[in-house]
Chains A and B, each alone.
Chain A
Amino acid sequence: MYTTVRESQNAIDASARLTDQQQAGFDGHDRAGTVGALVPLLVDQVMAEAGVVEPAVAAKAIEQARGDVSRAVSLLRSWVSCLPREGTSVVACSDIEVERRITPAFAEPDGGQFLGASLDYAPRLLNLDVTPAGGRASGDTGPVAEPDPEPLVLPRATTRLEEQDLIAATESTEPVDLTRRASAAGAGRGAFQHFLSRAETGALTALAYTAVREGPKQADPTLVELRAGRLPVSVTHPRTGNPVRVGSVAVTTCELVLYHVQVDSSGEHTDSRFTLGYGATAGRVERRAISAAMLDARVTRAHANPPGTAKPPSDDADWLVTALDGQEATGFVEHLKLAHHVSFASDLDRVRALGEHIRNDEE
């Protein structure tokens, strides 16, 4: 049905009815719960991009947005934007209660590797069975090891490199809440980290990928550690002043290094150490953490370059923060659907005036 925007209230109502009708085919009683159970990684991605960890609400947002990730993120973000910030809980990456830990740089890291639950090791064969078992990571229904009752807390694998002074010093960071700041541009590494943790997944991956393609061969990153698990959240008790654990959130963090020999303008080698990159994301979409760590490393290393060195976008924090937020990008692209006939009339006026000038020139 086409309609002019003038008769808009009818059009909006009709559009809403049509949308409802299309959804009426599904009569499950707990649609959001079903979403959460069927597509947990989608829920994770939406929570990560929204910067909000609340799986049931995220599943509801996905269902309401009919699977449009960007819209679901928008719903979640605007839901929390006016909620008060009741407290902060500062936790270290090494506090993670590990459920999965892999260390590609080291075969036998201190504490060992744990594959945990992951789709990485299942063949990518589309299973066309209609039974609920379709899409399982393994056909095996045998028992898995009982989960350890004690949370598994491990040192960072990077510690081994740090102890040997093989990691170049990085800017130390204070956590920054970007939702209570105007802009991530020029606000330092803490703000940049929060920005990356909420960046749009596809854009994040694409930029990290271009970073590898553009750089010199020696810029290839090596993943030191990817860990997924639960990060305990504590708040200060209002009476006793003691920290009280109130829950935990699922997170994935990544540390990787770039091999890089610093060379100055006269060709002298001035440093031979690795540049460390760190990335963290809510949930289990692991490429988010890896991509963020790659970009963090690139930006960190670019700081050490002599002034005036050309920066590709992947090395330029200022550029990245203008491009990688999914809400800003989709918001702008989609606003082009709004009426623009006033500004367009202004464009028409100029196009005609300049065209006239060009024609007069030719005569």
Chain B
Amino acid sequence: MTRLTPTRAWAATILFAAFAILPMITQALGDSYLIVIATRILAYAIAALALDLILGYGGMVSFGHAAYLGIGAYAVAILGRAGITDLGAHMLAAIAVAAVFALITGAISLRTRGIYFIMITLAFAQMGYFFFVSLSAYGGDDGVTLNARSTVFGQPLLENNTALYYTALALLIGLYLLAVAITRSRFGRVLTGARENPLRMQAIGFSPFRYQLTAYVISGCMASIAGVMLANQASYVSPSYMDWHRSGELVVMVVFGGIGNLLGAVAGATIALLLEEWLALLTRHWPILFGLILVLVVLYSRDGLSGFFRSDRS
């Protein structure tokens, strides 16, 4: 259960404060490029947060969450091509499409359990991937370059990297607070209950299916916002956002940070992406090192990397 204990509140405050002052540090360093990396980290943190909501609290291991990144990213590309550049419109469209997609695929997927759920969510993401690969009008596999980022009130404010960064950060903090509120609500408790003991939940009058589906849809919508941010950050959209590897990487982020611990998802995304950047500097064959770390984390720490820093592992 998530309790917003004082420690957690402090941890959250410190983490987000660190993110908030980062642009000033990079300015001092004269290294504006860091903001670009950091924005990417924030976008993935949103997606990991979304995944943790259903994975950590609802026990639903979605191996297809990259589909929502793709939906969000293509919302930017497709609306942008049609001349609609407003960030709000992009987000609304992303959320609407993601909600419909999550509702349909979720309703089918939730009929299954365990590994079947993992595989069917993967299957739906693959369908999305191949759909966009075949979508000639938007470049198919080649993807689409965005001529401009989303606008805010008709102003190209987000062309400034720092502005985009703070927008992403504001969205992350807002969604984090929303996710915390959800997990602390009655809805969240039913969700956790349905994971722990679905029969009992049913016996006391809750239909786990409806709660799980609702959570799944919320999570999909949140992840699509990450896609909107990612598209703006890279100024480029392609089906590779929906690759099954991305879905796997999202799960890795959540597990790195420790599942069922929303702040952990944010930390996990940060750690995983920084680790990737750093290992890539050491050697071209960095996936070997990354894989090794992943295996070791799974084998020796049940709480993700955060588990290593805790002496009293429960």
A binds B: no
Task: List the interface of chain A (C-beta within 8 A of B).
Answer: none
